Amino acid sequence: MSITYIVPCLNVEQDIIKNYKKLCLFIKKKKINSNIIFINDGSKDLTIDKLKSIKDQKVKIIDNKKNLGKSQSIINTIKKVKTKNIVLIDCDLPYFEYLDEVINNLKNNDLVIINRKIKNSKNLDKKKNFYQIIRLGVSNLFGYLTESILNLKVMGDTQAGLKAFKLNKEIKRKKFISKYYFFDIELINFFRKQNSKIKLIPVKFKVSNNSSIKIFSFKNFNYINELIRVLYKC
């Protein structure tokens, strides 16, 4: 088994080295042939300087001089991967405690996804603030819309920051159109249409207070437009 970890990064100078070391320790314990690709997607801080300080032959750094968008960065990178398996994980390493379970399930499945809405998943937030309530509401709305149209059978949860899949020539040839945040939908839809084996992993989670997506921002119109285009194409 061979794995490439793809880690998109945007303005994370404070935590990226700490998280790199955490991921390296996991890889060492797992004893699987692995490498890591960090994508600096046009960060405005010192993220790229921190990444360039890493001296590790198993680490490759892709430096986007301007921000291409998370999805577009991942799509471009997948075409360069040579291993048979890919793990997509956000730079803050969300659901890291489930990473071992995700990889173990990848042996017998084509796509393994963290899912926060299936049975045995649990929201640990005892009390949510205004931002968390709005964010969860918007996520549920988009999730319901996506599930109603595409029947992905993931309970509308397509945006969790940890997933893994087996790479094949069809995926590399596939023309995905997402730029910002909806590559996950296209990927799940691709595997569903292939009648592939998909495994959903239940998790305990909290709704984050931080996000690069701001509730009141004109950029949200771009995100909505992209979601409509993705749903239409899928």
pLDDT digits (tens, 9 = 90+) for 182-213: 999 999 999 999 999 999 999 999 887 765 55
Provide the pLDDT confidence category of residue 214 given band limits of 50, 70 and 90.
Answer: low
Cα–Cα distance between 199 and 151 in angstroms, integer? 16
pLDDT at position 132 is 84
Average pLDDT, the chain: 93
> If you search the block for the tokens 């991942």, which residue do you land on?
74
pLDDT at position 219 is 74
Instruction: State the pTM of this model.
Output: 0.94
If we measure between CA atoms, which residue out of 168, 184, 167, 169 comes closest to residue 234? 184
pLDDT at position 220 is 76
How far is residue 169 from each of residues 62, 163, 172, measured CA to CA in Å? 22, 19, 5
pLDDT at position 199 is 98
**Encoding tokens for residue 103?**
């990889």
- What one-character DSSP code corresponds to residue 178? -
If we measure between CA atoms, which residue out of 232, 234, 229, 224 comes closest to residue 142? 224
- Residue 181: pLDDT above 60? yes
- Residue 230: pLDDT above 80? yes
pLDDT tens digit sequence for 117-140: 999 999 998 888 888 888 888 888
DSSP H/E element including 128: none
